[in-house]
Amino acid sequence: MNDKTRIEHLEGEGKLMIKIIDRLEQRISTLEKVLQSHAKCIGELREIKVDNPIKGRVIVTEEIK
């Protein structure tokens, strides 16, 4: 393999690596958003306390343990 071919090969691999890294960054960003959303939902579920079970009124007041 001569120098020109080697350089072209390395440039192609470099472009492929950049493409892979971009896709991974997008996936990580999506996963961070989903994780944040799930954490918010879990936090909300832990904060629900039934104030008046006869009327079924629910008030968010404190954590249920």
pLDDT at position 3, please? 87
Q: Is the pLDDT of residue 17 over 80?
A: yes
- 18-53 pLDDT, tens digit each: 999 999 999 999 999 999 888 888 777 666 555 555
Structural domain boundaries of the chain?
Answer: 3-60
pLDDT computed for residue 21 by the predictor? 96
pLDDT at 63 over 70: no
Give the three-class secondary structure for 58: strand
Closest CA to 44 of 55, 36, 54: 36
The C-alpha atoms of residue 26 and residue 59 are separated, in whole angstroms, by: 38
